[in-house]
Structure 1
Amino acid sequence: MAVHSKHPASAPPGPPVREKTGHLMLRGWCIFVLFMSLSGTAWVHAFGELTATVVTIAGGVLSAVLWIVLRPPVQWRRLPWFVVAYVVWATLSLAWSAWPQATALTLLLLYITTLQALFVGSVLTWRELVRAVASALKWVLALSILFELWVAVFIGQPVLPGFVVEKADDPIEYWSRDNLFDFPGRLQGIMGNANLLAPVALLAIVVFAIRLASGAPRRTFLWIWMALSAYLFVRASSATAYLAAAAVAVVLVTVLLMRRATRPGERTKYYVAYAAVGVGGLLGLWVLRDAIFTALGRSADLTGREGIWEKVLARAAERPWVGWGYSTPWVPSDPAFDEWIIDHGQTVLQAHNMWVDVAMQLGIIGVVLLAFLYFAFVWRAWFFAVDRPRWDLRADRPYSPLTLLPTLVGAILLVQGLAESTPLLLWGWLFVVMLGAKIKQSPHVGVGPAEQSEAIERGDAVERDEPTGRRLPARPPRRRAPRSETSPAAAGDPAGSGA
């Protein structure tokens, strides 16, 4: 009969380390939070403004309560302070706002989105965060294709918000235009807007590719999800998203080349080539914009955006330094925005350029704060991706594919922000705050209190094998030798208690 020794050389056998039910539920809630931000206006179209408002506020309150109860390790000195400065300046604009009710309402949305971003980034590790983002994207993509399929098969005609089947004055009013089997008609998904669906589909391609590169399980299904993302990206047919995809490709190639550099000055040529491609691409886009946008089926004035910019900038020039007051998005029920700018018979809800939008709302000071915010985010995300993980003398640790996510997200949002204001709210703002704060709190994947704390990641403590990143069972507590025994530990040698 086998008997355990009184002096075992290793830990006795036990069950495998598993996540606790509470942590599984926490991760499920984070997936729901990410889904709410990624799905955008779907909640308003499906359930109405009141229900969407109640769900948003209740979600923010629940996350705040969970944060207080869980108390995840947070280094308060390493908060994203440019985000805090931007939020504070937006709040101060309430004192001089020309539309105080709209400012108060949209400030509440800004507070909740910022809170949710910091909450998700603090309670999930890098691996869990990417996994949760992938799960939320799967829900958005699956519901989008199922919604379009339901409209095409069971309704057979365009659908208005609220599942109303009526003929609209302009196609822009439709939630779904019933284009699934009408190629090359544009799909709008559950967001009801192809320009919102396309960047989310592009983000999904990036996230699923990172999951594949990091060795995630069920790879066949990941390839299927990536194919669905590519299909929706193409069918959304957004010119801005196509340009964002080109920017993602350039950034990805540059990062991979940077990682191959072995000498300190070897990256210089890549930086020069990267700058040349970037500047040359922007100049070429401006000079050849007529031919490029015509080929993409768009007008040279970015589908009327230049006219919108002129009106917004004219209003911004009247209060150049502090702006007219925060309102992201514009509240159409406010007299200041109601029928101010009309496009296809509908009141425009944004300036279709985040820099122009901020210039009108928060003035030059707001633009400067936003520029510093994005500069800090892009700077940290870039070196998070190109620098080899190192916190001691060891210099041969492998790169992690997960570190590519922040810099590629930054490329998507910066390009999208040239023709849309959506990076200032919903998933755009949430991802900038969440990823920027996560880089500051956890600059190395799998290392540090926010990455290995048992309160955050596992029910029991785990360690990682550094070269491979594999999870290893926790080591049992070492038995301390009696003081009377002659041993290195008893003599004060800290390395003598283990082989």
Structure 2
Amino acid sequence: MRPDPRTLLASAELARAFTLTVFAATFGAPAIRGAAGDVTYATILAALCLLGGAMLVTRRREIEVLHLAPTTLVFLILWAGASVLWSTDALRSLAGWAALLGVSFLGVVVGHVRDAHQSVRALGDVLRWLLAASLVLEVLSGILWDTPIPFLGIQGDIAELGPVQGLFGSRNDLGVVTVVALLTFLVEWRTRSVRPATAVSSVILAALLAVLSGSPTVVVVAAATAIAAAALTSVRALPARRRRAVQIGLGLALVVLSALAWAQRFAIAAALDGRADLSVRTDLWGEILRLSDDRPVVGFGWFGPWDPADAPFSTLNFTLGQQHASALNAFLDVLLQLGWVGLLVFLVLCALALARSWLVAGERRSVVHTWAPLTLVVLLTVSVFESSVLSGAGLLLLVLCAVRAGQSRSWRERLERVPEPPDGPARTQGGRESAG
């Protein structure tokens, strides 16, 4: 008897395999592209999107359309798609929008076919393998073979204690992945999802590669995440009646600190990266702001990661005499490509995702619910210095966290509540609701 395809598409086994493959494909994108090319990577994403679509259709009775994706995410994707109409290169812009749509769709699918615990568990498994493979390849390249592996971007400097790149293309990307991995492994440890020996070895592996990466970004990201974790732990320990006031205070403090950090972004970059890198960043950011004035509202069209040969990026690189593949700041990247409209939508998406997931983590006892808000802290902190949250694994995690937060707290829930009669429910003399 032939198995029913619908049963397979709705099975938990396929959902787990799908989630593992999505995480492996997006986090391993630099290695896949380096080894097999962009077409292979795009084909993998397209196949996963088709499979994910079939899984959602099969599970359509379990999924409410209103809860499928956050409204702000939908608006952002629609605005990016519309920007093809005024883009400086419509074909490349369309390709960039397709990548944005595809990765976002995969995040939505994972958010619906796996719960929070299952998602964290799958991510932990994938990151363990990728980090272990990165360390092995670095040892082979830098110690045993004593030669770089160019197509993977591995320089072979582990014998000099770094910086190392692993399978992630650059030391900064490796550093960010190690912070996400540390957070994921610690949540696994606290929830007892894996054996203690596995948890301890995973944490040591991630910490070792974080140090060997030599990434200055790791310092500020780890510090911001640690502060956020301490604040969230304090909130979770408070009684419910005091939690609201503390949450409001933390929210106001976050706004103030964010404003101060933005005002002092050049000083922070100087402290982390040194004067040479600071000059590169400040020159680039200043030129982006000047160029954005030409199209302040709608931007130059969505491209995602830059192609240095295409306008307006070629103009920036020519003016600066440098070769940049991003704005080195996700917010300025969105401003340049989608204008103030796109930046506003992106900021609202991030703010709502963080606020909702933070409130959920404060109310629910399971430690697994702390993963989403702390991961968002990692992504948003990185976004001040890199644009990785706009594509690939960074975008996938952002969408997954936003979907997860929207499932628990959303304005849509109010639409689904059935209003009570004006006089309230009928009651008996004893004060109980009447069964009749």
Q: TM-score range by the shorter chain?
A: 0.7 to 0.9
Question: Which letter maps to 1:192?
Answer: G
Question: Which letter maps to 1:196?
Answer: D
Q: Which residue is equivalent to 2:366? A: 400
Aligned counterparts of 1:91 and 1:278: Cα–Cα separation in 2:
31
Q: Which residue is equivalent to 1:92? A: 82
Q: Does the CA contact (< 8 Å) of 2:155 and 2:164 recur in 1?
A: yes
Aligned counterparts of 1:284 and 1:48: Cα–Cα separation in 2:
38
Structure 1: runs of 5+ lacking an equivalent: 1-18, 163-174, 390-398, 445-493, 495-499
Matched, 1:409 2:370: no
Matched, 1:198 2:175: yes
Q: Does the CA contact (< 8 Å) of 1:342 and 1:348 recur in 2?
A: no
Q: Which residue is equivalent to 1:108? A: 98
Q: Which residue is equivalent to 1:42? A: 31
SS for the counterpart of 1:133 is: helix
Aligned counterparts of 1:75 and 1:137: Cα–Cα separation in 2:
31
Alignment TM-score, normalising by the size of structure 2: 0.84
Question: Which letter maps to 2:149?
Answer: V
Aligned counterparts of 2:325 and 2:31: Cα–Cα separation in 1:
16
Alignment TM-score, normalising by the size of structure 1: 0.74
Q: Does the CA contact (< 8 Å) of 2:235 and 2:246 recur in 1?
A: no
Q: How far did residue 109 of structure 1 move?
A: 0.4
* Paired positions, count: 404
Kindly tell me: are residues 124 and 406 of structure 1, through their superposed partners in 2, closer, same or farther at Cα, counting changes over 3 Å?
same
Question: Which letter maps to 2:42?
Answer: T
Aligned counterparts of 2:386 and 2:234: Cα–Cα separation in 1:
31
Query: Identity over aligned residues, as a percent?
Result: 25
Give the counterpart of 2:151 among 161, 178, 201. Answer: 161
Q: How far did residue 210 of structure 1 move?
A: 0.6
Question: Which letter maps to 1:249?
Answer: A
Aligned counterparts of 1:81 and 1:281: Cα–Cα separation in 2:
24
Aligned counterparts of 1:29 and 1:266: Cα–Cα separation in 2:
38
The equivalences for 1:135-214 within 5 A come to: 135-161=125-151, 175-183=153-161, 185-214=162-191
Q: How far did residue 344 of structure 1 move?
A: 11
Kindly tell me: are residues 337 and 382 of structure 1, through their superposed partners in 2, closer, same or farther at Cα, counting changes over 3 Å?
same
Matched, 1:31 2:8: no
Matched, 1:424 2:402: no
Q: Does the CA contact (< 8 Å) of 2:284 and 2:320 recur in 1?
A: no
Q: Does the CA contact (< 8 Å) of 1:72 and 1:122 recur in 2?
A: no
Q: Does the CA contact (< 8 Å) of 1:324 and 1:362 recur in 2?
A: yes
Q: How far did residue 382 of structure 1 move?
A: 1.0
Q: Which residue is equivalent to 2:116? A: 126
Q: Which residue is equivalent to 1:224? A: 201
| Structure with the bigger percentage of helix | 2
Q: Which residue is equivalent to 2:430? A: none
Greater gyration radius? 1
Kindly tell me: are residues 84 and 282 of structure 1, through their superposed partners in 2, closer, same or farther at Cα, counting changes over 3 Å?
closer
Q: How far did residue 248 of structure 1 move?
A: 0.8
Q: Which residue is equivalent to 2:354? A: 378
Q: Which residue is equivalent to 1:255? A: 232
SS for the counterpart of 1:216 is: coil
Kindly tell me: are residues 342 and 63 of structure 1, through their superposed partners in 2, closer, same or farther at Cα, counting changes over 3 Å?
farther
Q: Which residue is equivalent to 1:13? A: none
> What CA RMSD, in Å, does the superposition of the two structures yield over aligned residues?
3.0
For residues 348-405 of structure 1, give each alpha carbon's deviation from its aligned partner in whole angstroms, at most 9, with x where no partner exists: 1111111111111111111111111111101101101112x4xxxxxxxxx0001101
SS for the counterpart of 1:359 is: helix
Q: How far did residue 278 of structure 1 move?
A: 7.6
Aligned counterparts of 1:323 and 1:284: Cα–Cα separation in 2:
25
SS for the counterpart of 2:350 is: helix
Q: How far did residue 303 of structure 1 move?
A: 6.1
Question: Which letter maps to 1:51?
Answer: T
Give the counterpart of 1:319 among 282, 295, 299. Answer: 295
Give the counterpart of 2:241 among 255, 258, 264. Answer: 264
Question: Which letter maps to 1:31?
Answer: L
SS for the counterpart of 2:124 is: helix
Aligned counterparts of 1:340 and 1:193: Cα–Cα separation in 2:
22
